[in-house]
Amino acid sequence: MKLSLFEDYQPIAAIAVTPSGVKRLLSLCDATDATLWIPASCQDAIDGTTHPRVQVYTGSLTDHLAQIWPDCRAFIFCLATGAVVRAIAPLLQHKSIDPAVVVVDEAGKFTISLCSGHQGGADRLTQAVASHIGATPVLTGASSALQLPGIDVLGVPFGWTRGEGNWTAVSAAIARQEPVEVIQEVGCTLWQENLPENHPFVLESPDDSKPPKARVWISATQRQFAPNSEFPKVQWHPRVLWVGVGCERGTSRRVVESAIAQVCQSHHFAQAAIAGIATIDIKADEVGLLELCEARQWPLKTFSSEVLKSVSVPTPSTVVEQEVGTPSVAEAAAIVAAQELTSPGETFNSLLVSKQIFRLEGEPGAVTVAIAQSEREYTGREGKLWLVGTGPGALNQMTPAAQTAITTADLVIGYTLYIDLIKPLLRPGQLVQSLPITQERQRAELAIGFAQWGLTVAVISSGDAGIYGMAGLVLEQLRDGGWDGKTPGVQVFPGITALQAAASRVGTPLMHDFCAISLSDLLTPWTMIEKRLEAAAAADFVVALYNPRSRTRTEQIAIAQAIFLKHRKPETPVAIVRSAYREDEQITLTTLEKLLENPIDMLSTILIGNQSTSLYENWMITPRGYLGFETR
């Protein structure tokens, strides 16, 4: 199933008013699922044909923008920046609700984040569009220049809710690189691990010699800030609170909502930190609960009486047990819901508020409320796994879709060397996890865990992710974990393989039937590898050897050479290509008998020709017709 890289920005409107602008945005609209709006005068730019993504507007552009502005989350203009500013100025309200506005120049050299860069997502969209069309992104915000995440979008990947505070003043302190104290009581701290050196955040106790100029609270607590304070503060609320609810049949939404508000107020909890409602399964159709959850966009989690009665609670009730088969609903349900977001094997004292009973005068029913806290926050997002092939290593050898997948991901996971190669594609503040070369399984497990939690994760492999890469391992582990094939969503982005890259550097060695064989016996028994070498050599395939030699595995390449010499002439052409298209690229053309006289390591790909292959003026050529055979 194909997943959209631009799903977070839908619906997108693209605007072009010149023929060249129409042509520039037309292919981009196919990739972004955007609707391209053009004036009638530009219809000739699409050769007068009907295009499914093109709509013609009548009247002035200003009037048309006013009509579609409320319905779109993002706009991409191919128009002069000044003209865009004048056109959208009357429509702008506040950065918290304005759509993303991006401008692409007609030459396609630059993409500019013009409006709502952080909260509207224009900065991210600008970089995604730039990756897709091969342009330079222009981000003018101070946080981008400092390679920092915007403080007003810091918690977006984790589903945090932005709370009260003076966001403008705190952002200004960060831009001035003044010390900004961060007090994080709950929520994921992965963002801290990805901060650049010399960042302004004070994550430990402040230094008295450099007192902080602003403060960021990351907490489930609702704090009240003085509106005219000279010390600016803001608060993020990770969604870690699970409200357990038991109620009489027919209890109204008002009763439940009022009870939750009273409990939160008396315990100084932020309602913005509520992850969802938990109750017994026989209440899954309770109208008041359903109405409240729909209005607040809270999930409603239900559990059987068997599950609930297995939970130890402080205030069990025999009356409740006689009624529904478990001595606790509110407390037990809150605890079970919170445990689902707690690390396996961890003991976490999750119950914060024991059950409390509420009624509301003039409203039907009664409700029991308890609150538990999960170790990990609820993101409220559906995760995705992008399995990305980065090709040989040079950015211009990557497909635009692969570059865009990396740029748009919340988190990028890969081998340390490969992460270094794609650093120019990373956004300021983007989450990155790099692991050593031998930890492929750990990388896959980490990626799956984060995607199941709700993040969009790009797992990168050199070459093609589906050829000796991470894609197979990730899908294998998903299968073993009972994956339903849908959630998290998965998409594989192909890349130029090592054998393709190596072949392109030496000529046309793959013009006839060929195969690839890895000499690594970490995942395949050597006896099987030997059988494949014998079969390929005897069948006269052109052969690409992957992983030919490591520091601890040195004999396999010699055995492979001996096998091929049984079936092929000693002067059979051989190419050894190391780090194709990278700065330290090395190319060696030799013969089968002299293969071992040359340096070979894990970064080398070896191409062994067939009986038709020859060397000509330092080019390796395999004819299309085998041994001169060609039908005419």
pLDDT digits (tens, 9 = 90+) for 226-283: 878 889 999 999 999 999 999 999 999 999 999 999 999 999 999 999 999 999 999 9
Identify the top-confidence range among 22-26, 216-220, 578-582.
216-220
- pLDDT tens per residue across span 595-620: 999 999 999 999 999 999 999 999 99
Locate all alpha helices (DSSP H) within 300-390, ordered by sequence.
305-309, 318-324, 330-339
Strands 411-415, 456-461: pairing kind: parallel
**241-373, which class in CATH?**
alpha beta
Query: Is CATH 1.10.10.10 the classification given to domain 502-628?
Result: no
Chain-centroid distance, C-alpha 596: 43
Sign of CA dihedral 348, 352, 358, 364: negative
**CATH number for region 384-496:** 3.40.1010.10
b/e burial code for range 546-565 (CB count within 10 A of at least 16 → b) = bbbbeeebeebbeebbebbe
Give the strands of the sheet with 54-57, arranged side by side.
Answer: 54-57, 35-39, 12-16, 74-78, 100-104, 110-115, 136-138
**Fold (CATH) for 156-237:** 3.40.1390
The domain ranges of the chain are: 7-140, 156-237, 241-373, 384-496, 502-628
- Into which CATH architecture does domain 7-140 fall? 3-Layer(aba) Sandwich (3.40)
Is it the case that residue 84 has pLDDT exceeding 70?
yes
Report pLDDT for 344: 65
**Same CATH topology for 7-140 and 384-496?**
no
Q: CA 309, CA 335: separation in Å to the nearest integer?
A: 12
Phi, psi of 278 (to 5 degrees): -130, 140
Report pLDDT for 57: 93
Is it the case that residue 540 has pLDDT exceeding 50?
yes
Report pLDDT for 249: 94
Contacts of 9 by beta carbon, 8 Å cutoff, 6+ apart: 32, 73, 74, 100, 121, 125
Q: How does residue 389 score in pLDDT terms, banded at 50, 70 and 90?
A: very high
Report pLDDT for 629: 64
Is it the case that residue 2 has pLDDT exceeding 70?
no
Sign of CA dihedral 369, 371, 372, 378: positive
Phi, psi of 521 (to 5 degrees): -105, 20
Q: How does residue 438 score in pLDDT terms, banded at 50, 70 and 90?
A: confident
Q: Report CA-CA distances (Å) from 485 to 308, 402, 567.
A: 30, 22, 45
Report pLDDT for 420: 92
**Beta strands, E only, 307-418:** 351-358, 367-373, 384-389, 411-415
Is it the case that residue 549 has pLDDT exceeding 80?
yes
CA dihedral 153, 156, 159, 161 (to 10 degrees): 20
Contacts of 312 by beta carbon, 8 Å cutoff, 6+ apart: none
